[in-house]
């Protein structure tokens, strides 16, 4: 498969990147992190962006998340041209169109799980009653309805990441952007969280996952590899409109391998 099958299945792709270039000024040296990346992500897709450190995947994540703006090239998110937006409009885009999941969970300490999930709604000027209701619904979806009044330090890593996931989807964003979401979790918990991503994708959410682990990328429908600021590989595991791949549990995987049957 190639980038060729990105062509519009739906009238408006969630993400359109055209020849994106990003350069940084590091002291006297100009560093080019992205050298002309083009990528289209359709609605309902589940894309894993892979690459070693220094490949430009963090920069990619910052640009996709509207945390940083590209130096050159065009970037449309849900049909909106991001390059024309000012800071206030970018916060608005982050609030309405993107749900973030970070490697280090990034929950606000001394604030209950529910309040953490409510945070994006707070900045979207949603009334208190609706905020509570939507936060509870999101927590229910990630299986933490009974933990809504716990503080982050009272939750396990997996639970914290699920709270973060609830926070990412509470605004019903066009895109869930996850940056190494399992980087701080053990294998079992990682699988738990990844199954949740699969579940979310099955219910129609568009997900972009940034990772360097093949095991994690295996949950995606499409894998994009970056090297030295360029896309070097882009292949699809399953079609956009089908269910995400079912990945066997690590234990099964190991047992099968031991019997000499390829995974």
Partner 1 sequence: MSVRDTLRNSWQGINANLLRSALTVLGVLIGVSAVIILLAVGTGSSAAVAKQINSLGTNTITVLSTGRFGRGPATNGTESQTANLTTQTVNAIENQAQAPDVESVSPVVSTSETATYQGASYSTTVTGTTPNYLAAEDYTIAAGSSITQADVTGRKRVALIGQEVASNLFSTGENPLGQTIQIGSASFEIIGVLNEKGSSGITDEDSVVIAPYTAVQDELTGYQPFSELLVQAKSTAALDNAATEVENILASEADTTVADLPFSVINEGTLLTASESTSSTFTTLLGAVAAISLLVGGIGVMNIMLVTVTERTREIGIRKAVGAPKAAILAQFLTEAVLLSLIGGGGGVIVGLIGSRFKIEGVTPVIAGYSIPLAFGIAIAVGVFFGLYPANRAASLRPIDALRYE
Give me the residues that bind partner 1 (CB under 8 A), please.
Answer: 62, 65, 67-68, 87-88, 91-96, 100, 102, 106-111, 119-120, 122-125, 128, 167
The angle at the Cα of 21, spanning 18 to 24, to the nearest 5 degrees, equals 155
Nearest distance, CB of residue 53 and partner 1, angstroms: 14
Q: Which residues contact 195 (CB under 8 A, 6 or more apart)?
A: none
Q: How far is the CB of 40 from partner 1 (least distance, A)?
A: 24
CA atoms of 218 and 224, how far apart (whole Å): 12
Compare residues 10 and 91 and give the one whose CB is closer to partner 1: 91
Instruction: List CB contacts of 222: < 8 A, sequence separation 6 or more.
Output: 45, 46, 47, 48, 234, 235, 236, 237, 240
Least distance in angstroms from the C-beta of 124 to partner 1: 7
- Return the number of the residue (40 or 58) whose C-beta is nearest partner 1: 58
Nearer to partner 1, 40 or 62 (CB): 62
State the nearest-atom distance from the C-beta of 131 to partner 1, in Å.
9
Select 111 or 188, whichever has its Cβ closest to partner 1: 111
Instruction: Determine whether 220 is exposed, middle or buried from the number of CB atoms within 10 Å of its CB (0-12, 13-18, 19+).
Output: buried
DSSP string covering 69-92, please? --SEEEEEETTEEGGG--HHHHHH
- Minimum separation from the CB atom of position 67 to partner 1 (A): 4
Of the two residues 9 and 212, which places its CB atom closer to partner 1 in the complex? 212
CB-CB contact of 241 with 9 (8 Å): yes
């Amino acid at each position: 498969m190639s980038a060729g099958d990105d062509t519009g299945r739906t009238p408006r792709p969630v993400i359109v990147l055209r020849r994106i270039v990003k350069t940084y000024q590091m002291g006297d040296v100009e560093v080019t992190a992205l050298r002309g990346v083009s990528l289209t992500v359709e609605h309902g897709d589940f894309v894993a962006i892979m690459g070693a450190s220094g490949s430009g995947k963090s920069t990619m994540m910052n640009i996709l998340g509207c945390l940083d703006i590209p130096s050159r090239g065009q970037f449309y998110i849900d049909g909106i041209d991001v390059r024309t937006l000012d800071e206030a409009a970018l916060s608005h885009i982050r609030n309405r169109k993107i749900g973030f999941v970070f490697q280090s969970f990034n929950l606000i300490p001394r604030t209950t799980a529910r309040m953490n999930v409510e945070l994006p709604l707070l900045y979207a000027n949603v009334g208190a009653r609706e905020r509570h209701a939507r936060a509870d619904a999101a927590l229910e979806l990630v299986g933490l309805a009974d933990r809504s009044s716990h503080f982050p330090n009272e939750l396990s890593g997996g639970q914290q990441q699920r709270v973060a996931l609830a926070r990412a989807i509470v605004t019903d964003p066009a895109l869930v952007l996850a940056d190494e979401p399992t980087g701080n979790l053990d294998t079992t918990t990682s699988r738990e969280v990844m199954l949740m991503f699969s579940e979310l994708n099955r219910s129609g959410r568009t997900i972009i996952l940034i990772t360097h682990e093949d095991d994690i990328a295996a949950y995606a429908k499409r894998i994009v590899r970056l090297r030295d600021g360029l896309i070097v590989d882009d292949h699809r595991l399953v079609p956009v409109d089908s269910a995400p791949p079912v990945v066997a549990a690590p234990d099964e995987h190991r047992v099968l391998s031991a019997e000499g049957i390829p995974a």
